[in-house]
Amino acid sequence: MNYIEQEIIFERESSTQRGIDNNRVSLHKTTYGDKETNLHMAWGIVEQESADSELGTVDVILQSGIILRNVEILTREWAGMGYGERDLPPKDSKVLIAFPEGIIENAIIIGSVLSVLGSVGEKQSEELLVAGKEREELIITEAGWKRTYNKDSGDISFVKNTISISVKGDASEIKITDGTNTFLMDSSGITLNDNLLVEV
């Protein structure tokens, strides 16, 4: 991709009307939207977390090649005084950006898709894009933990390598195993099986 030599850095404290008008023109050339709704959308690729990490923002390259700096992220939970969520999309994530009122300074990332680039994308195809798992919520963290939640049964599990922690949806059973040893707590009590198959 040949990137356009244009960079937009958001100055959210103040902005002149002329700057807003100029950016609106640039925005209309590089996004999808209409004059009636004044809500424009564009696809972009996360370049990196912003240099000032306290902002909780990322830098994004639009399909047109324009680079947006310090783009804010939509939170999954309500944000307020002293609480909220900070979960930045990783580098190379394909994200959807909205521009409310057609103003480029209002850019906010509202979601991402699983078509991440490179080997990470290949792994996601194997782990996440699997048929027949529509009622299963799966989250794979950067550290490699897989959290699986079954929307029908309510069962939830955390797995990494040979370590597995699972909880039944009705809280009737908690099981922890490392592939060899097992800790089980259910209505009958607590059972511990070590690698010598000795029960305590």
* Domain spanning 7-113, CATH architecture: Beta Barrel (2.40)
- Residue 17: pLDDT over 50: no
* pLDDT at site 156: 95
Check: CB of residue 56 under 8 Å from CB of residue 108.
Answer: no
- pLDDT confidence tier of residue 132, bands split at 50, 70 and 90: low
Q: What is the pLDDT of residues 85-131, one digit of tens each?
A: 777 888 888 899 998 888 888 899 998 876 655 555 566 666 666 66
The span from the CA of 145 to the CA of 2, in Å, is 36
* pLDDT at site 113: 78
Highest mean pLDDT among 2-6, 104-108, 131-135: 104-108
Q: What is the pLDDT of residues 28-39, one digit of tens each?
A: 555 555 556 667
- Residue 169: pLDDT over 50: yes
- Residue 76: pLDDT over 80: no
Q: What is the pLDDT of residues 41-66, one digit of tens each?
A: 889 999 887 766 667 788 999 988 88
φ, ψ (nearest 5 deg) of residue 29: -80, -15
Assigned token pair, 199: 């029960």
Q: Kindly provide the residue ranges of all beta strands, DSSP E only, lying in the chain, ordered along the sequence.
A: 7-9, 39-49, 58-62, 67-73, 94-100, 108-113, 136-140, 146-150, 156-160, 163-167, 173-177, 182-186, 189-193
User: Domain limits of the chain?
Assistant: 7-113, 130-193
What mean pLDDT do residues 162-183 have? Answer: 93
φ, ψ (nearest 5 deg) of residue 145: -70, 140
Highest mean pLDDT among 99-103, 160-164, 195-199: 160-164
* pLDDT at site 178: 92
Check: CB of residue 97 under 8 Å from CB of residue 30.
Answer: no
- Residue 5: pLDDT over 90: no
Q: Read off the pTM.
A: 0.56
Mean pLDDT for all residues in the chain:
75
| Contacts (Cβ under 8 Å, ≥6 apart) of 25 | none
What mean pLDDT do residues 70-79 have? Answer: 79
| Contacts (Cβ under 8 Å, ≥6 apart) of 21 | none
